[in-house]
Amino acid sequence: MIYKLHIWRQKNDQSAGQFELYEIDVSEDTSFLEMLDALNEQLIENDQEAIAFDFDCREGICGSCNLVINGTPHGKHRGTTTCQQYMRDYADEQELWIEPWRATAFPIIKDLIVDRTAFEKIIQAGGYIEIRTGSAIEANTIAIEKEVSDEAFDSATCIGCAACVAACPNASATLFVAAKVSHLSTLPQGQMDKKRAEKLLAEMDEQGFGGCSNYRECERVCPKEISVSTITTMNKLLYQSQ
């Protein structure tokens, strides 16, 4: 299958970028990132500079394959990262526009790679449990209701890919923050920190992310399908801490 690819090329966050057109013939069973690998091989063979894009596990776990494909973060399928998409998924869209996350808080490093250090700073502000835990203890020592543990686990599946930011008209990281707050603050070990939501939201503002206007685009594009109900949980904890 022959695809026309409009790919964003940019040397760094200080330079102007632009879409450049490429063509490639690949099997429909090729994954999206394998297609980019094949394109880079062609470019290198022709003494052209390879396209910079980010990836690590290629198993939908790490969240680094942060691409916007035809206007949608991670691509057309819900609950799926870019690395889990295949070219057969785009058999009816053989002209593809591929670009990086667009947010002031995520400056472009090069081409399709953005700097997501802002997320790490949010975590440093309070995305951890402060009590000393010592060595590992029996898992059932602290009794936790199944409903609570399930809610915490669902929130903990967030991989910090930032698709929520890329999809939000306000470039808000509220769903990411809410997932971390819901994960940690609903468990007994994390309830000692009453200011977690306040600290993480303050750092989110400091890093230049926008506020939440309830568009719910974040929930739609999240590859782990984190629910916006986590934002309700976070807001409840925030008000209780005042």
Q: Is 242 exposed, middle or buried (0-12, 13-18, 19+ CB in 10 A)?
A: exposed
Instruction: Name the band, by pLDDT with cuts 50, 70 and 90, for residue 135.
Output: confident
Q: Where does 26-131 have alpha helices with state H?
A: 32-45, 117-124
pLDDT band, residue 140 (cuts 50/70/90): low
Per-residue pLDDT of 61-107, as tens digits, reads 999 999 999 999 999 999 999 999 999 999 998 899 999 999 999 99
Q: Is the pLDDT of residue 193 over 80?
A: yes
Angle in degrees, 0-180, between the axes of helices 146-156 and 174-185, rounded to the nearest 10? 140
Query: Any idea where the domains of the chain sit in the sequence?
Result: 2-99, 117-240
Enter the CATH code of domain 117-240: 1.10.1060.10
CATH number of 2-99: 3.10.20.30
CA pair distance 214, 75, nearest whole angstrom: 22
Q: Which pTM value belongs to this model?
A: 0.89
Cα gap 40→121, rounded to integer Å: 33
- Per residue in 152-192, pLDDT (tens digit) is 999 999 999 999 999 999 999 999 999 999 999 988 888 88
Q: Answer for the pair 195, 171: CB distance below 8 angstroms, yes or no.
A: no
Give the model's confidence band at 216: pLDDT under 50 very low, under 70 low, under 90 confident, else very high.
Answer: very high
Query: By the 8 A CB rule, do 225 and 184 touch?
Result: no
